[in-house]
Structure 1
Amino acid sequence: MSQPTIRHVAERAGVSKSLVSLVMRGSSKVSDERRRLVLAAAEEIGYRPNAAARSLVRQESHHLGLMVSDLRNPFFAEVTEGIVAAANAQGYRVLINSGFLSPARETEALETLLELRMDGILMAGARVASRVIRHVAASVPVVAITRSVRLPGVDVVVNDDHMGAGLAVDHLVELGHRRIAHIDGGSGSGANRRARGYVATMERHGLASHVRQVRADFTEEAGEAGVAQLLADGPRPTAIFCANDYQAVGVLDALREAGLDVPRDVSVVGYDNVHLASLRRLDLTTIHQPRQEMGEQAARLLLERLTTDRESRRVIIPPKLVVRGTTGPPPR
């Protein structure tokens, strides 16, 4: 027998082909009664794989969608581990895609997850406009990770980035540094809060005249470019606070290529405390975020929203300073 088509479904259900098409696209213009009729007919003749058809009839798929801002960043890899572990423990699978640091591509990725009829969607480090998140949340429950938004139907799991930046600057000031520069994370989630925390803490220590920021991004390449700009323009900083650990890798490489010793000539502080930061080659002083725990928390919030009707929740996780070998007193 040939593969069943929309025409076969329409004949079995006794409806038009256009109505069947609307149902298969998930249109809201179709009544629940007609949707059930069409989906039941599709399952009967095998128009779709039986498991998928049954999930459509039940209006659930036991799949969660995860949109990750940057798959190369080890922070998101560790967050993803926590999400997958928590989801699998409850019988859910996770479909992962990426926006590759582009709001436009993130929007496309989210639309794809909606078309695939995910039961809920998690956004890790999303850079899309709030209106896009609001659009997604109108269809399915949403949890934003590291993105601080206040929207109906959206749970949030974030680190206290302002506090974390303060811990980094406090540590450097206690070591005796004054010329402390910050290479920021551009439009990345949490970048603005970290930048504001850096400025506020510098001002609190009476170092407003030494505030020096370089516009960058959460990438290794941005760290290298940030160092080039700092060394070419103005007095050399004695310490650099990086927007994240991935960026800090580029900063360390660029400083060493410039013939500067870390921490004897320049101290470096990262942010996130990804696994790489503890490796002997890096031994990076950084601000700790519990990556896997954040992922687990986000997944649990999303699964809870699938079964209960409650208000959106906002979970703020305090950071911690982890001192390693990339920070020391400033050069004399």
Structure 2
Amino acid sequence: MSHEEIRAGEAQMEDGGSGRHQNGAPKRPRLEDVAARVGLSAASVSLVLRGVPGPSERTRQRVLKAAADLGYQADRTASTLASRRSRLLGVMVDIHSPFHAELVEHLHTAAEEVGYDLVLSTLTRTRDERTAVDTLLAFRSEALILLGPTAPADALAVLDNKAPVIVVGRRIADAALDVVRTADDDGVSQTIDHLVGLGHREIVHVDGGKGVIATDRRRGYRTAMRRHGLGDHIRVLAGDNTEAAGERAARHLLDGGRLPTAVVAYNDQCAIGVLAALARAGVAVPGEVSVAGYDDDTFSRLSCFNLTTVSQNAREQARHAVTAAVERLDQDRNRTEPREVVLTPRLVVRGTTAGRG
């Protein structure tokens, strides 16, 4: 059954052949209505609306104008039934993460360029990864792009048997999964190199907890400090990925009396919490204490923070993630071997770090 046949049948059930919905409201414009407006076949109009090469530019413009004038919107459900493919990529995203929000924006762009769309399912304080993934599968997502998942590697491997899984932002050791990430240890190492070059020695790290990402960043801090002969100055404070964790860590430092000369936080949200607590205590940044984050999210770029941080190149991560998904789904390529893409992070120096003295 064709896309047009399904739409015609649905429209007839809605209006009973009267041209109006059963509740008396005007019926939703159909593909055939657009075709009648421009004097073309429904098949020709469908080619234009699906972006298929062939129709002339003049025809394309006429069809698009008619569709806009009539308020026509493509029926994704009917199209899915007709093609037996949803062309949807499911994305699991932490609703509290500005960096994830930026990744999603770039994922949308990359997916649209290859004829796919996204379904988003969020992580919240009351909604876990399993629930989020189940929702994506229920919406017939053909592949799953998981942003910073914390599930065990073996659980992700089992999930990959249901739909191709692309893990973004997290290292997966010895697992047959597609991974797109940056070298987190290298990113923190670059930050330590920058601070040591400015004359800092008392450098504290506020970590991100137990996860793999936090482990890699913590390892990067320790390794870089030892490389600079500062092993005796290593100090790690418990934290997580929130502003509240940064504030708690900063208050702990303030209560301890002697402040370090620099603080490297797990991510930008944590770093912003550190900045807030130091500001309330009247501690000048970067005059007395330099502060650095990680992610280069949208808040770090605001003039009120102007935070030194590490860019993970969200645009490139998104592009590689979509490419990996499509390669797994495309029958012409049908890639089955897992692939890991590791991007090099980049230190972005702004106004929260400065030299000593």
Into which bin does the TM-score normalised by the smaller protein fall? 0.7 to 0.9
Residue among 82, 94, 118 paired with 1:54: 82
Q: How does 1:1-332 map to 2 (within 5 A)?
A: 50-55=78-83, 58=84, 60-68=85-93, 70-100=94-124, 105-150=128-173, 153-188=176-211, 190-233=213-256, 235-307=258-330, 308-330=334-356
Q: 1:82 to 1:286 in 2, by over 3 A?
A: same
Instruction: Name the CA distance, whole Å, in 2 between partners of 1:63 and 1:249.
Output: 35
- Is contact 1:188–1:218 with CA below 8 Å preserved after alignment? no
Tell me how far 1:101 sits from its aligned partner. Answer: 6.4
Q: Per-residue deviation at 1:297? A: 1.4
Contact 1:143-1:154 at 8 Å conserved across structures: yes
Q: Once the two structures are aligned, what percentage of the paired residues are identical?
A: 39
Amino acid across the alignment from 2:323: R
C-alpha deviation, 1:276, in angstroms = 2.5
After superposition, the C-alpha distances for 1:199-224 in whole angstroms (9 at most, x for unaligned) are: 11111111111111111111111111
Deviates more, 1:144-153 or 1:279-288: 144-153
Q: Quote the Cα distance in structure 2 between the aligned partners of 1:202 and 1:151.
A: 28
Q: After the TM superposition, which parts of structure 1 deviate over 3 Å for at least 4 consecutive aligned residues?
A: 49-55, 150-153
1:136-183 per-residue CA deviation (whole Å, 9 max, x = no partner) reads: 101111110011114655211111111111111111111111110001
Higher deviation after alignment, 146-155 or 268-277: 146-155
Assess if the C-alpha contact under 8 Å between 1:184 and 1:195 holds in 2. Answer: yes
2:154 touches 2:175 (CA, 8 Å); kept in 1? Answer: no
Quote how far apart the aligned CAs of 1:256 are. Answer: 0.4
Say which SS state the counterpart of residue 291 (structure 2) adopts.
strand
SS of the residue aligned with 1:64? strand
Letter in 1 for 2:301: S
Q: What amino acid is the match of 1:190? A: I
Q: What is the CA–CA distance in structure 2 between the aligned matches of 1:317 and 1:203, rounded to whole Å?
A: 24
**Equivalent residue of 2:201, what SS?**
coil
SS at match of 1:253: helix
Deviation for aligned residue 1:72: 2.3
Separation in 1, partners of 2:174, 2:133:
17
Residue deviations 1:18-68 (CA, integer Å, cap 9, x gap) = xxxxxxxxxxxxxxxxxxxxxxxxxxxxxxx6444335xx3x311110001
Matched residues in 2 for 1:195 and 1:300: separation?
A: 30
Whether contact under 8 Å (1:141, 1:153) holds in the other structure is no
Aligned mates of 2:176, 2:89 — CA distance in 1:
16
Conserved 8 A contact 1:127-1:188: yes
Contact 1:285 1:322 in 2 (8 A): yes
Alpha-carbon offset, residue 115 of structure 1: 2.7
Gaps of 5+ in 1: 1-48
CA contact (8 A) 2:121 2:135 kept: no
Measured in 2, the distance between the counterparts of 1:142 and 1:136 equals 7
- SS of the aligned residue for 1:190 comes to helix
- Look up the equivalent residue of 1:311 and give its one-letter code: E
Aligned length: 278
Q: Please, what is the CA RMSD of the aligned residues?
A: 1.8
How far 1:185 sits from its partner (Å)? 1.2
Distance 1:197 1:234 in 2: 27
Q: CA deviation at 1:189?
A: 5.1
**Structure 1 CA distance, aligned partners of 2:227 and 2:156?**
35
Q: Distance in 2 between matches of 1:234 and 1:168?
A: 25
Looking at CA atoms only, which structure, 1 or 2, has the larger radius of gyration?
Answer: 2
Q: In 2 relative to 1, CA 272–244 (structure 1 residues): closer, same or farther, beyond 3 Å?
A: same
